[in-house]
Structure 1
Amino acid sequence: MTTGYRWLHRWNEGGLESLKPDFGGGRPPKLSDEEREELKEILAERNDWTTKEIKKLVKEKFGVEYSRCHLRRILKSMGMNCGKPYQKDYRRPENAEEKLKERLDKALKNINSALEEEERVIIGFLDESRPKTTSNTVKVWAFEDPEKKRNTTKYQANTFGFYPLNGESVVEFKENSKKERVCEFFERIRKENPEEKIVMILDNFSSHRAKDAERKAEELGIELVFLPPYSPDLNPIEQIWRGIKREISTAFFETKEEFLELIKDSFQKLSGKLSYASGWVSKFLPSNFQKICI
């Protein structure tokens, strides 16, 4: 029966009243409110659902089939987000955040006992990265297949970065990441921040843990706080490296010097933004040190 005949049949059977909708207007939902709540509870048990999996679940559990497009709208209305999952190493400790907070609290207590009135402490993050001209992390819009002219000569740069909550940020290019280069970078950080006490958060890379590096840090008055293993997500500087890779994706370089200059300029610009570390600060930094540092 066509839609027109269906409405005519209703009119003949019940008159005007039979033509009035018996729902709130618009197309009635296939899932009831109760079923939506049940679906939401099921989906809350995992953080890695694909659209295909949810589509299959809805069909098997509730006997309802949605188009992918409509299903995405429903999931968004439930407050779900869709994106590339952040990869976490299976060897990462379950209590990684708790361990970092304990280590940071211990370091800050050591520093606090030596602080004089009105004296500041710099809290910052150190890391190395190796940006490459082959980075391609930005999606672009185009009427045809998107393309971008670029120099296909491959450049890369072993880059050391220091991202402080206060104080001076530092970025340098090194031929390698051996302990000698780490010590040199500690010295550069101290040169740019000559007076304040420094608490430095960094990962467990072997060069960072080397005795020479730890001695150099102690000599320079830098308190080292090591992240739990396999926990790069607890270092806000990672977001700066990702930002630099996005900048590289849309840039054109004729020479390696231009490539290095973009990395340096991007680091200086991005490291001036405390927004990359705002969540970290509220989660890990005691309130009294938040006032000292920011």
Structure 2
Amino acid sequence: VSGVRDKMNMLGAVTDDGERFIALTPNQFNAEVAKHFLRAVQHEFGERLVIILDNASYFIAKTLKKQAAADGLLLEYLPSHSPELNPLESCWRQLRDGRANRLFLTLDDVNEYLSTALPALNSPQIYEYLC
């Protein structure tokens, strides 16, 4: 046994009308991965967006902010240490609850689970987070 584990990381976005965009990557999150994610979100939802982010180091990186400004994105940030204000946390909770007491032996098993679980997620009601 090597002790090395395969992994899959996810970044997600949800719109004010409940549309979701989830990106999967085997890479560790960093500013470059986050920049690619924001460009993919922009491609999916349109040129002019206001994107509300948490304060993860890769989202507050100067290089990401510079690219976002050049791409016409307006970035706003949630208060630090406030996951309850992040609507995507409910999506991640659903995924965690759905995999409770399940053993995934391979990354293919994880991908198979995600292929059915992601489309079945209940989108958060964004306006509940704004009021």
**TM tier, smaller:** 0.7 to 0.9
1:253 shift after superposition: 3.8
Q: Is the 8 A contact 1:183 1:216 kept in 2?
A: yes
Q: 1:231 to 1:274 in 2, by over 3 A?
A: closer
- The equivalent of 2:113 in structure 1 is 262
- The equivalent of 1:188 in structure 2 is 40
Q: Does 2:27 correspond to 1:178?
A: no
Q: Is the 8 A contact 2:14 2:21 kept in 1?
A: yes
Distance 1:156 1:229 in 2: 27
Higher strand content, 1 or 2: 2
- The equivalent of 1:199 in structure 2 is 50
The residue type equivalent to 1:183 in the other structure is: K
The residue type equivalent to 1:202 in the other structure is: L
- The equivalent of 2:75 in structure 1 is 224
Distance 2:44 2:18 in 1: 8
Higher helix content, 1 or 2: 1
- The equivalent of 1:70 in structure 2 is none
- The equivalent of 2:129 in structure 1 is 280
The residue type equivalent to 1:160 in the other structure is: L
Query: 1:1-294 counterparts in 2 under 5 A?
Result: 156-166=7-17, 168-174=19-25, 175-195=27-47, 197-249=48-100, 251=102, 253-270=104-121, 273-275=123-125, 277-281=126-130, 283=131
The residue type equivalent to 1:194 in the other structure is: G
3-state SS in 2 of match to 1:242: helix
* TM-score normalized by the length of structure 1: 0.39
3-state SS in 1 of match to 2:99: helix
Question: Considering only CA atoms, is the larger Rg found in Structure 1 or Structure 2?
Answer: 1
Q: 1:167 to 1:248 in 2, by over 3 A?
A: closer
Greater RCO, CA 8 A, separation 6+: 2
CA RMSD, Structure 1 to Structure 2 (Å): 2.3
* TM-score normalized by the length of structure 2: 0.80
User: Deviation string for 1:53-84 (max 9, x for gaps)?
Assistant: xxxxxxxxxxxxxxxxxxxxxxxxxxxxxxxx
Q: Is the 8 A contact 2:8 2:107 kept in 1?
A: no
3-state SS in 2 of match to 1:161: strand
Alignment: residue pair count: 126
